[in-house]
Structure 1
Amino acid sequence: MEDTCKEKNEDLSTAANSTITLHQKSLDDLKTYNPFEHRNVPHPTSTIGSFVHLLKSSLGSGLLAMPVAFKHTGLIPGCLGTALVGLIATHCVHILVSTSRDISRECREPALNYTDTCARVFKHGPQSLRRYEGFVRHFADYAMAGVCLGGTSVYVIFIASSLKDIVDQFTSSHLPIEAYSGILLIPLILLIQVRYLKFLVPFSVLANMCLIVTVAITCYYTFADVQFSDGKLFGNVLEWPLFISTAIFAMEGINVVMPVENEMAHPEHFLGCPGVLNTSMVLVVILYGIVGFFGYLKYGDYVQGSITLSLPEGEPLALTAKILVVIAVFFTYGLQMYAPMDILWIRVKGRISQKYHNLGQIVLRTASVMLTVILTIAIPDLELMIGLVGSVFFSTLGLFIPLVVQTVHKWDRGLGRCSYILWKNGLLLLFYLVVLLSGCYSSIKEIVKKYS
């Protein structure tokens, strides 16, 4: 009997050691699991292509709206504010991508999009917050949809305003901006049917080239005449929220970040120094500061929602810039709509039969374009739309959500020495609330004032 008990104890000990070994092996596998090695991307994007995409996502109509942003603050606060917003925007993108990679490693998943990252963090976060996983998923999707509708509506207004400015120079039939928005419906629907990010690279390259030439021509007109208008060094403090809203709208390309990073052939090149992210954002901040500073210095308080609309009429070079910027923003529209369409399709395709998936994609993308055009017709003012969309949607998607997600993810895993992550994110969340409330109030106040 003693021998039997001894054998049973040895078996239990062996089983316990086996369980411990398996658990330790699981932890070791978790530490060594590399999501990059398990990604199976049908059409991976090169590092240069990813750089072009990320640069293009931040260089759109917002770049040419920077002079009117400087009008709200003056020259000195405008320069400091541009650097500050660029730093905060870059930091929030960095912590979002880092958190996504960490949670991907823990969940042993090759890649996670924006919404899945938020949901997984809450699912594996503090016990008291796990029940909010579904709410967080819906909130992130709605925020993405808001950025999609609002941001691309600004692009439609921008293109329509530029087309109106061009056509009015040659014809006497001055159609309203709403009419040009309707004309754009069919071309935008055709563009949005491109479903793979890799196939958008040529469009991004073309858009970047057009935008570079436009900026060069704009700088030529800005510096050609040495008689600069009287730009204010300091503007009205009450108008500063409109500057911050415009700058956030201009620089935030966070809705494109996760698709770009997930489809890279070498995702390890995205973060780090220099890295795709840091390199692109440094160029963005420098270019935004130059265009905003000298554009406002040139045209003063008479600068319009896009500096290209302030260029002289009847000159071939100025006309060329206006045409090129239309092409640039038109192709940027397709890139900005890529991430929201991907997220919406993932949620919808399970309810559609497999044989109707292609038709379902076409209907979904067509309906999304129609919504942006309808919103454009409702508020056909470029400057006011940029301020409203930037303060509400882009700040929520680009500031609020990444900060909350990182805080929740690090809560049980360590917030750093003296909980510096908690203090840092708390200050940035306070900045977000100031942007949201003040920017939204200022934009709505101006909209009501104009249309009443």
Structure 2
Amino acid sequence: MDPESKAETLCLQPVADHAAPLHKEEDDYDPHVHRQLPKPTNNLETLVHLLKCSLGTGILAMPQAFARAGLVTGVVATVLVGALVTHCLHVLVRAQYGACKRLRVPLLSYPAAMAAALQAGPPALRRLARPSTVTVDVFLVVYQLGICCVYIVFIADNIKKVVDPQYEMSTEVHMLIILGPLIAFNLIPSLKLLAPFSALANVLTFAGLGIVVYYLVTGERSSEPLDLWGSPHTFPLFFGTILFALTAVGVVIALENNMKTPKAFGEPCGVLNVGMSIIVLLYVAIGALGYVYCVADCSDSITLDLPPGPLASSVIIMFAVAIFISYGLHCYVPVEVVWRGYLLPRLQAAGSRHLRLAEYALRVGLCLLTFVLAVAVPRLGLFISLFGALCLSALGICFPAVMEACLNVARRGPRLQLAKDALLFVVGVVGLVAGTYTALLSIVRSFQPEPVLADAHAHAHA
């Protein structure tokens, strides 16, 4: 089994009740010492996994994000949001470690750590401990299915660009064509069987990124003037895109949990800081170069802006194949959460003899759900902004802040940290509300006729 995928699956699996009694004498317990891992990863392997998680459709959408924010604002805001996301990931890892110490267990999933933290917090929040596991699971499932929707739109849009010169068809038809292979690929029940495909996806992604950078540096650039500062009306869409691209919250705990030397993960020059620094630099580079290349005409994915030719077509095919493979890996996570955490226990209690059939039905059903959503809203960039603002504002900012605050209350920590967590929570809520509202409004307006859309745009700038 692929270490990263296995770790992510274990992290995202829902857990039952963690209302075990808390121990006051927790200082003598170190969860890192008690972790028994069959195949732990070293620092370099963990860094590679972290980079892999963050280099997908999100980085290809960065030029359009910069078009919404402006060149200078985009660079500065990407660095600032990168620093915010990195800090929140540190908060999440520390909170998970603190929850493990309180329960005296070596490992906890994200939902379980959230419940344990709430149980340690103020009495008013303790009653939310059990519902919080379901809440985190819902956000994780929605986020993962959202990624799958983005992937379907991405594959269809890119195949359409390659095929259109010979056979012009709508994006929806291309989605329908790839639906059968997606369902078949999603029926593979073992991550071990998917591991070789995952390695192939990594090679294709890095090769494709190299060719994209070559085009952006050497290709003919747009002659339009650059927008340096952007507009406040479109900045929430930029914020959602950045969160979607940068926040690998679904795997961060899992990666730290599966390290041979987990303390090296959060050190000043540790895996997380080094990895996020590389990721932010790559995103700034692709975003800035891509925006200078195409300016206001940036497509949802920079691959759609490459000039026609065999090399550009090969890049598009590389990314389409890589994202097709990644679809199966990302859809595996919600299948595991829903199946093992909710459906399987109920079917076993009911004495069902058709468990395998029910699991396949779930896999097909989730695949069809993502297909229907992708067909209903075939707007790749807006999908990315929506799911980034909706899910990752909560999973990557709000929930870690609440967890750290509750554990801080339990050990009577400094009030300054509580103030910082309160500020993080407010930032997360504002990003969630503003980003989700702007993305939904933009999706609705994108379906309106051109005159209506023009009137709305004029009214917005009145």
- Deviation digits for residues 146-204 of structure 1, max 9, x if unmatched? 212212211111111111111213x22x2222222233334334444566667665444
Residue 147 in 1 paired to residue 172 in 2?
Answer: no
The normalised TM-score by structure 1 is 0.86
Q: Is the 8 A contact 1:44 1:198 kept in 2?
A: no
- Paired residue type of 2:319: V
Q: 1:221 aligns with which of 215, 219, 222?
A: 215
Once structures 1 and 2 are overlaid, which stretch shifts more, 277-286 or 435-444?
A: 435-444
1:395-434 matches, within 5 Å, as 395-416=393-414, 419-434=415-430
Displacement after TM superposition at 1:390 (Å): 1.5
Q: Is the 8 A contact 2:152 2:374 kept in 1?
A: yes
Q: 1:40 to 1:364 in 2, by over 3 A?
A: farther
Once structures 1 and 2 are overlaid, which stretch shifts more, 259-268 or 111-120?
A: 259-268
Residue 35 in 1 paired to residue 34 in 2?
Answer: no
Between the aligned partners of 1:178 and 1:144, the Cα distance in structure 2 is 27
Q: 2:387 aligns with which of 378, 386, 389?
A: 389
Q: Is the 8 A contact 1:115 1:137 kept in 2?
A: yes
Q: 1:379 to 1:273 in 2, by over 3 A?
A: same
1:260-409 matches, within 5 Å, as 260-313=255-308, 315-344=309-338, 345-353=340-348, 358-409=356-407
Between the aligned partners of 2:282 and 2:388, the Cα distance in structure 1 is 19
The alignment partner of 1:212 has SS state of helix
Displacement after TM superposition at 1:219 (Å): 1.6
The alignment partner of 1:238 has SS state of coil
Q: Is the 8 A contact 1:74 1:233 kept in 2?
A: yes
Between the aligned partners of 1:36 and 1:188, the Cα distance in structure 2 is 39
Q: Is the 8 A contact 1:192 1:337 kept in 2?
A: yes
- Paired residue type of 1:33: Y
Q: Among all aligned residue pairs of Structure 1 and Structure 2, give the percentage whose two residues are the same amino acid.
A: 35
The normalised TM-score by structure 2 is 0.84
- Deviation digits for residues 339-382 of structure 1, max 9, x if unmatched? 43333223333223397555544333332222211211110111
Q: 1:192 to 1:284 in 2, by over 3 A?
A: farther
Between the aligned partners of 1:383 and 1:427, the Cα distance in structure 2 is 29
- Deviation digits for residues 256-286 of structure 1, max 9, x if unmatched? 2233333444434432243332222111100
Equivalence for 2:114: 118
In structure 1, list runs of 5 or more residues that go unmatched: 1-25
Between the aligned partners of 1:438 and 1:253, the Cα distance in structure 2 is 21
Q: Is the 8 A contact 2:24 2:102 kept in 1?
A: no
Q: 1:138 aligns with which of 134, 137, 140?
A: 134
Equivalence for 1:206: 200
Q: Is the 8 A contact 1:162 1:309 kept in 2?
A: yes
Q: Is the 8 A contact 1:255 1:340 kept in 2?
A: no
Once structures 1 and 2 are overlaid, which stretch shifts more, 393-402 or 268-277?
A: 268-277
Displacement after TM superposition at 1:235 (Å): 1.5
Q: Is the 8 A contact 1:255 1:339 kept in 2?
A: no
Q: 1:319 to 1:116 in 2, by over 3 A?
A: same
- Deviation digits for residues 356-415 of structure 1, max 9, x if unmatched? 555544333332222211211110111121121111122222111111121122112133
- Paired residue type of 2:323: V
Residue 79 in 1 paired to residue 54 in 2?
Answer: no
Displacement after TM superposition at 1:308 (Å): 0.4
Between the aligned partners of 1:165 and 1:223, the Cα distance in structure 2 is 22
Displacement after TM superposition at 1:81 (Å): 0.8
Equivalence for 1:238: 233
Q: 2:163 aligns with which of 163, 167, 170?
A: 167
Between the aligned partners of 1:323 and 1:223, the Cα distance in structure 2 is 21
The alignment partner of 1:175 has SS state of coil
- Deviation digits for residues 407-443 of structure 1, max 9, x if unmatched? 1221121332xx2222212222222233222222222
Once structures 1 and 2 are overlaid, which stretch shifts more, 360-369 or 58-67?
A: 360-369
- Paired residue type of 2:277: V
Q: 1:281 to 1:439 in 2, by over 3 A?
A: same
Q: Is the 8 A contact 2:41 2:259 kept in 1?
A: yes
Q: Is the 8 A contact 2:236 2:435 kept in 1?
A: yes
Between the aligned partners of 2:358 and 2:37, the Cα distance in structure 1 is 23
The alignment partner of 2:27 has SS state of helix
Residue 182 in 1 paired to residue 176 in 2?
Answer: yes
Q: 1:227 to 1:140 in 2, by over 3 A?
A: closer
Q: 1:79 to 1:233 in 2, by over 3 A?
A: same
- Paired residue type of 1:256: V
Equivalence for 2:459: none
Between the aligned partners of 1:246 and 1:302, the Cα distance in structure 2 is 17
Question: Which one has a bigger Cα radius of gyration?
Answer: 1
Displacement after TM superposition at 1:76 (Å): 0.3
Equivalence for 1:10: none
Between the aligned partners of 2:28 and 2:359, the Cα distance in structure 1 is 38
Once structures 1 and 2 are overlaid, which stretch shifts more, 249-258 or 365-374?
A: 365-374
